[in-house]
Amino acid sequence: MSNRDVTPPAYRQGMDENQVQTVPADVTTPPAAQPVLPFDDESERPIPFALTARARRSVAPASLPPLTVVDGAGLGGGADADAALPDDHSDTRPARARALRRAGLSPTAIATRLRADELLVRAWVGETLSAVPRPIVAPADAATQAARAANDDGRRAGRAEATPRLADDAAFAAGVGLLSAISETDLHTVTLAGHRPDLVVHGLTWLRGVAEVDPGRVRVVVRAGAGVAADGVRHDLAQRLGVEPGRITVARWPAAPAPDATEVLVRVHDPRLAARVGGWCEAFLAPADPPAADLAF
């Protein structure tokens, strides 16, 4: 018997055009019983969660203040110098900086290669206390020679200004003594650094009281241990130092001596102030009768 001899059954109610038995529309099938899950009474309770700043920028950008770019002119950094968050594990620059330092590259060369602020690079590699580059002895161009000549003139003026004041003004001698202990100067900047943030804060506060310091020229880098809240230390130092929080960069300190340890470095980019402070410190450390340190301390 061939297929042509097979006659399909006639179409009738309850079957579709493909000869498939269907269920009438007026017949309802009771739903299958759903199993009762444990803790079913908690199903409507919301689950607490917290968004990181990066996630919040994606799902609720209006809830965050607008981002501001810190001008890195003269500081060795660019607009992306502070692109990484302190706890951003996707940022490989700290590890790369340490590897390049072990390979023998200078922090300045590493900062150029990674397009990061040199202060931040020195925080990554653990050299913030020696953050001021030493002057280059090699022949320089006319602009550098002019800067050195201006620095020498400013230092001589600073020594002439400080010498009589150190002998008569104990408060001035104490302030210059503090700067001599925690600061270094080069052709362009004054840098204050130390493991005791209070000393750095007091040093900058005293400097503001005796000289004009533009807040826009102040840059701060903090190395913080694992137990220090980055946002907390940033806002605390911003209030104590009188600078905008956006000018403070916090870098994690993996080898901190304690989880709550911090190290602060403040740089003021002002060639005239750098020369003046350098002259003060030279006068303080120069031999004198009586020594300025005896008067101050």
Q: Is residue 97 part of a domain?
A: yes
State residue 63's pLDDT score: 67
Determine whether 275 is exposed, middle or buried from the number of CB atoms within 10 Å of its CB (0-12, 13-18, 19+). buried
Answer yes or no: do 107 and 143 share one domain: no
In this predicted structure, the answer to whether residue 97 has a pLDDT above a threshold of 50 is: yes
At 76, is the pLDDT very low, low, confident or very high (cuts 50, 70, 90)? very low
Residue 168 resides in a domain:
yes
287 and 263 inside one domain? yes
Q: Are residues 88 and 231 in the same domain?
A: no
Q: β-strands 183-185, 248-252: how paired?
A: unpaired
Task: Strands of the chain (E only): list them.
Answer: 183-185, 189-194, 218-224, 248-252, 262-269
Residue 99 lies in a domain: yes
The domain boundary residue, chosen from 85, 100, 125: 125
Same domain, 121 and 222: no
Name the residue among 264, 265, 221, 218 with its Cα closest to residue 242.
218
* Mean pLDDT score, 102-116: 85
Do residue 142 and residue 256 come from a single domain?
Answer: yes
Contact 165, 290 (CB under 8 A): no
Residue 29 lies in a domain: no
Q: What is the pLDDT of residue 89?
A: 59
Bridge partners for 268 per DSSP: 190, 218
Is the domain of 160 the same as that of 259?
yes
The CATH number of the domain holding residue 204 is 3.30.1330
CA distances from 130 to 8, 191, 194, 200 (A): 96, 9, 10, 15
- The total number of structural domains in the chain stands at 2
pLDDT in tens, 192-222: 988 889 999 999 999 999 999 998 899 898 8
Same domain, 116 and 246: no
Give the domain-ending residue among 68, 99, 125: 125
Give the position of tokens 């950008």: 61
* Mean pLDDT, range 90-97, rounded to an integer: 81
The more confidently predicted of residues 29 and 167 is 167
Residue 281 lies in a domain: yes
Share of the chain above pLDDT 90, in %: 26
With 90 as the cut, is the pLDDT of residue 87 above it? no
The partner residues of 191 in beta bridges, in order of sequence, read 184, 267
- Dmax (CA) for the chain in angstroms is 132
Is there a single domain that holds both residue 154 and residue 197?
yes
The answer to whether residues 253 and 224 touch, using CB atoms and an 8 Å cutoff, is yes
Q: Residue range 82-96: average pLDDT?
A: 63
pLDDT bracket for residue 82 (50, 70, 90): very low
- pLDDT value at residue 65: 63
- Give the tokens for residue 274: 């750098």
pLDDT, one tens digit per residue, over 17-60 is 555 555 555 555 555 556 655 555 555 666 666 667 667 767 77
Residue 54 forms part of a structural domain = no
Length of the chain: 297
> Over 80: is that where the pLDDT of 282 sits?
yes
Give the number of other CB atoms < 10 A from CB of residue 202: 16
Q: Which helix (H) or strand (E) holds 114?
A: helix 107-114
Q: What is the mean pLDDT of residues 74-97?
A: 55
Q: Are residues 185 and 288 in the same domain?
A: yes
Kindly report the average pLDDT of the chain as a whole number.
76
Distances (CA, A) of 46 to 42, 43, 50, 65, 116: 9, 8, 13, 27, 42
Mean pLDDT of 259-270: 90
Does 204 lie in the same domain as 275? Answer: yes
Per-residue model confidence (pLDDT) at position 66: 63
Going by their DSSP bridges, the two strands 262-269 and 189-194 should be labelled as antiparallel
Nearest to 182 by CA among 206, 209, 165, 162: 206
223 in a structural domain: yes
Query: Are 107 and 214 found together in one domain?
Result: no
Question: For residue 251, which of 262, 267, 240, 242 has the smallest C-alpha distance?
Answer: 262
Mean pLDDT of the region 87-110: 80
pLDDT over 70 percentage in the chain: 64
pLDDT of residue 270: 94
Residue with tokens 């079913």, as numbered in its chain:
40
Mean pLDDT in residue range 129-136: 46
Nearest alpha-carbon partner for 180 in 47, 285, 44: 285
Sorted by sequence, the CB contacts under 8 Å of residue 167 that are 6+ apart come out as 288, 290, 292, 295
Q: Is the pLDDT of residue 8 over 80?
A: no
Residues 99 and 244 in one domain: no
Whether the predicted model's global pTM rises above the 0.75 cut:
no
Q: Indicate whether 218 belongs to any domain.
A: yes
Please give the residue that has the higher pLDDT: either 288 or 239.
239
Domain region containing 156: 136-296
Of 67, 95, 125, which residue sits at a domain end?
Answer: 125
Q: How confident is the model at residue 72 (pLDDT cuts 50, 70, 90)?
A: very low
